[in-house]
């Protein structure tokens, strides 16, 4: 993890709701699509009912976008390769054994744009475990399908070492396992020893939850 000036500028672009014109990836194309119609939340929204309405509008927009761009995928699961699941995602080992496929319902986020922004932020800060958006599933509900490098832990995680890494990059602990970067205006939450892996002395952040939270 290293926050250089380029990364800081890209983060400011995400906060401002600007489209990413440098990348042709499915992730950025999808985020750009939502950014043209919906404002980016720059604070942790307290109005739950309002955000649920926005999330439902974005869900319908994403279904239309995904259908037109052949991003509806129902062929990605082989039950033999199921690994685990958490609060928001089911995790499968890919057929090549080098990646995991995560099916995410975005439940931790007020809107789908918040979810896509979080992934973009993760990819900027942790490129070694970056996410690739493969498409969406419509089994019962809308799910995002993402692909990520499969990293195997071979050492115990020391959360004090993790805190030092985050502090070095401007993320200061605000409570328990949550951090805030005041310079940029983003929160990083849920940093416990299942969301961070240590392999051969190197830390890999595999499950992050970012929120935009710009202070006035």
Among residues 99, 130, 149, the one where a domain terminates is 149
Q: Are residues 96 and 32 in the same domain?
A: yes
Give me the average pLDDT of each 10-residue run along the chain (216 residues).
Answer: 85 93 92 95 80 94 96 73 83 89 92 97 95 92 94 94 95 94 94 94 95 87
Q: Are residues 99 and 14 in the same domain?
A: yes
The tokens 């002395």 sit on which residue?
Answer: 201
Q: Is residue 154 part of a domain?
A: no
Give the dihedral of Cα atoms 118, 124, 130, 135; nearest 10 deg. 50
Q: Is residue 182 part of a domain?
A: yes
Q: Are residues 94 and 168 in the same domain?
A: no
Report the pLDDT value the prediction gives residue 124, as an integer from 0 to 100: 94
Measure the CA–CA gap between 90 and 88, rounded to whole angstroms: 7
Q: How buried is residue 114: exposed, middle or buried, by Cβ count under 10 Å (0-12/13-18/19+)?
A: buried
Q: Are residues 100 and 204 in the same domain?
A: no
119 near 27, Cβ under 8 Å?
Answer: yes
Q: Are residues 32 and 134 in the same domain?
A: yes
Q: Are residues 167 and 201 in the same domain?
A: yes
Measure the CA–CA gap between 92 and 107, rounded to whole angstroms: 19
Measure the CA–CA gap between 53 and 157, rounded to whole angstroms: 39
The candidate with the shortest Cα–Cα distance to 30, out of 76, 77, 3, 67, is 67
Report the pLDDT value the prediction gives residue 140, as an integer from 0 to 100: 81
Q: Are residues 45 and 109 in the same domain?
A: yes
Give the domain range for residue 92.
5-149
Report the pLDDT value the prediction gives residue 76, as an integer from 0 to 100: 66
Q: Are residues 32 and 136 in the same domain?
A: yes
Q: Are residues 202 and 128 in the same domain?
A: no
58 contacts: CB under 8 Å, gap ≥ 6: 34, 38, 111, 112, 113
Report the pLDDT value the prediction gives residue 79, as an integer from 0 to 100: 56
Strand, coil or helix: 12: helix
């Amino acid at each position: 993890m290293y926050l250089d000036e380029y990364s800081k500028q890209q983060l400011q672009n995400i906060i401002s709701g600007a489209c990413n014109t440098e990348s042709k990836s499915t992730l950025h194309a999808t985020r750009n699509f939502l950014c043209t119609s919906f404002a980016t939340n720059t604070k942790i929204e307290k109005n739950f009912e309002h955000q649920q309405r926005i999330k439902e509008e974005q869900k319908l927009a994403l279904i239309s976008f995904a259908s037109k761009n052949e991003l509806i995928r129902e062929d990605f699961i082989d039950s033999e390769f199921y690994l685990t699941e958490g609060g928001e995602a089911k995790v499968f080992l890919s057929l090549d054994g080098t990646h995991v496929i995560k099916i995410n319902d975005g439940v931790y986020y007020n809107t789908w744009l918040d979810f896509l922004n979080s992934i973009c932020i993760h990819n900027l800060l942790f490129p070694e475990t970056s996410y690739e958006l493969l498409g969406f599933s419509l089994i019962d509900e809308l799910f995002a399908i993402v692909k990520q490098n499969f990293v195997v832990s071979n050492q115990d995680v020391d959360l004090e070492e993790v805190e030092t890494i985050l502090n070095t990059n401007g993320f200061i602990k605000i409570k328990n396992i949550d951090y805030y970067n005041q310079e940029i205006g983003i929160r990083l939450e849920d940093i416990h020893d299942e969301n961070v892996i240590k392999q051969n002395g190197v830390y890999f952040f595999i499950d992050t939850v970012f929120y935009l939270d710009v202070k006035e």
